[in-house]
Structure 1
Amino acid sequence: MSALSGQSSVGFKGGASRAFPAVEDRRVLPRPLRRIVRFAVSLATGRVHIPRHIGTVSTFAFMGVVGLYGMSVGGHGVVVSQAVTASAGFAIEDVRVSGNDQTSEIDILQLLGLDGTTSLVALDIEAARKKLSDLPWVEYAEVRKVYPKTIEVTLRERKAFGIWQHGDELSLIERNGAIIGPLRDGKFASLPLFVGRDAETRAAAFVEELSGWPELGNRVRAYVRVAGRRWDLHLDNGVVLKLPEQGVQNALSVLSRLEAEQGLLERDIAAVDLRLDDRTTIQLSQGALDRRNEVLELRSKALKKAGVRS
């Protein structure tokens, strides 16, 4: 019995080894590869249905992707997108501009490059706003799309405060002294004229200081900054008022008193020097000086004659 039992045990082990060799030697594919293999087998056996013309569609799709990539690399994407969206009915046909007093609509259209074929979809709003903000008169610009074919441009323009003469050049300036641009026409001729170095930055403060003397301010035709320290006022009748560096209000009070008592500014004078606190110097005009010299000469002759006779 023990011999039979031993043989039977040995025979079972040998039989098991021969019956299941694949369990020990088989290699298992990773799960993603198994799915691919199963799909390939199904495709080969006809169990997967392929729609008609899928090859043609795939070819055109591949060519489209390659074309888009090529346009992107070559920098032609914007041009193509402009052409496609414009032809689809999004070409800009109406531009509404508001807030432009000094800026012409023609300049706006040219700057934005709107030629009737520009696409509203492809228009870069931020780039357009920056371009408009670079115009001389524009302080702030806003651009808005109104589909399908309209853009709205809203401007806030700078305000001209005066004219600044520096050398031979004339420039329009804001109240804070910032230069708007060169003076190109006469429609701003009524603005006050400021002349000299740093006159543009000191102009508003000095005009404010002069606001308490409106009758005098209305007669000023030019504010001349002298050596970056003080002002000369050129009046409408040619008289020059030389103001001090300090104590401008006291000097104007003296001038106002002389004008009230003697009508000083209506006389034949060239300048009034108010720079010194203790005295006021009057400079006669050339004509008045010549007449004065003639009178003095006649008086001298008369005195000589009177001395001889005596």
Structure 2
Amino acid sequence: MNKEDVTYTQKSKLRVLHKYTAIVIILFSLSLFFSNYLGRITTYVNSVVAKCNNKLSDILVNWGLSINTISLQGNHFVSKEEVLEFIDKSKPILFISLLKIKRNIELSNRWIKNVDVQRILPNTIAISIEEYKPFAIWHHGNQFSVIDSTGYVIINDYYVDGLVLIFGNNALSGLDFVKAVVNSNTELSQQISSFNYMRDWNIIFNNGLEVRLSQDNPNDAWNCLNKLHGGLNIMKNNWKAIDLRTQNKIFIKKQKTYHQLQSINCDFPK
């Protein structure tokens, strides 16, 4: 290839390069132009839509479709003020998103299990809240937790008056027993202060009496305790503890030592 051919080839490459460079510059300029133009169009359209919405909102409010009443039921631990934060009463009732209100309320408080929101024309938003029902306060580790009857932790470090205490990291494995005792609605069950679970169940009563139950058959031991109470009214005796962990034997502690009680034989199985 002679010198003239080389020069021609280089010039051809430069022309192609200049051509593609020009195309890139033109395309970039066009993109900037249209992006700026489209941005202005979008801003204008949004502005028009907002004005139309505001105008329509005013019309609907003037027609009587405002939010005048918010009906709330089912809340005990959730305050009405918490719920009202999620409802913009300045909007017409037709502009309110019921699904958004429902989701916001459900996420706002751990006591809330479910929320139902209804629009009742012309002026009412009706909200029904289903809260978790507290069953007991569970102490595990260094934490006090309010739980429902399934063992679900509703909230931590919150005091609810009148709930029985359950102590023990693994105590919820025997929650069915606790529920059976609490729901038995006997004279003894109404005087329980706490359930303690280590390897066996210990029940502490309001007067300080401690009852130790067998791990293998706590329900039978509880029935035996009620039988014992029916005969001796254990809550009025000055007893410190009752041990029901041994089959067919009942030990009572009056002061410092245990004594076997011979008059009652519960005969619960191993």
Task: Please give the TM-score of this superposition, normalised by the length of structure 1.
Answer: 0.56
> 2:135 is matched by which residue type in structure 1?
F
**SS of residue matched to 2:154:** strand
The Cα shift of 1:216 comes to: 2.0
Q: Which residue of 2 aligns with 1:180?
A: 154
> 1:280 is matched by which residue type in structure 2?
I
Q: 1:236 aligns with which of 187, 206, 215?
A: 206
Q: Which residue of 2 aligns with 1:33?
A: none
1:171 aligns with 2:145: yes
The Cα shift of 1:148 comes to: 5.0
Q: 1:268 aligns with which of 211, 220, 238?
A: 238
Change over 3 Å in CA distance of 1:210–1:131 after alignment to 2? closer
Q: 2-side partners of 1:274 and 1:222: how far apart?
A: 17
**SS of residue matched to 2:116:** strand
**SS of residue matched to 1:164:** strand
Count the aligned residue pairs: 215
Q: Which residue of 2 aligns with 1:120?
A: 93
1:157 aligns with 2:131: yes
- Where relative contact order (Cα < 8 A, 6+ residues apart) is larger, the structure is 2
Question: Which structure 2 residues correspond to residues 10-89 of structure 1 after superposition, within 5 A?
Answer: 66-67=42-43, 69=45, 83-88=54-59, 89=61
Q: Is the 1:93–1:149 contact (alpha carbons within 8 Å) kept by the matching residues of 2?
A: yes
Q: 1-side partners of 2:168 and 2:193: how far apart?
A: 14
Change over 3 Å in CA distance of 1:213–1:146 after alignment to 2? closer
Q: 1:105 aligns with which of 51, 59, 80?
A: 80
- Structure 1, unpaired ranges of 5+: 1-63, 291-310
- Flag the structure with higher strand content: 2
- Structure 2, unpaired ranges of 5+: 1-39, 258-270
* Cα deviation 1:52-87 (Å, max 9, x = unaligned): xxxxxxxxxxxx964454569xxxx7x767644443
**Which deviates further from its counterpart, 151-160 or 85-94?**
85-94
Q: Is the 1:240–1:272 contact (alpha carbons within 8 Å) kept by the matching residues of 2?
A: yes
* Cα deviation 1:126-148 (Å, max 9, x = unaligned): 12111122232322212223445
Q: What do you get for the CA RMSD once the two structures are aligned?
A: 3.6
Task: Please give the TM-score of this superposition, normalised by the length of structure 2.
Answer: 0.63
> 1:158 is matched by which residue type in structure 2?
Y
The Cα shift of 1:170 comes to: 3.2
Q: Is the 2:177–2:219 contact (alpha carbons within 8 Å) kept by the matching residues of 1?
A: no
**SS of residue matched to 2:95:** coil
- Flag the structure with higher helix content: 1
1:92 aligns with 2:67: yes
The Cα shift of 1:242 comes to: 0.8
Q: Is the 1:251–1:277 contact (alpha carbons within 8 Å) kept by the matching residues of 2?
A: no
**SS of residue matched to 2:103:** helix
Q: 2-side partners of 1:118 and 1:191: how far apart?
A: 43
Q: Which residue of 2 aligns with 1:251?
A: 221
The Cα shift of 1:168 comes to: 4.4
Change over 3 Å in CA distance of 1:98–1:211 after alignment to 2? closer
Q: 1-side partners of 2:242 and 2:145: how far apart?
A: 29
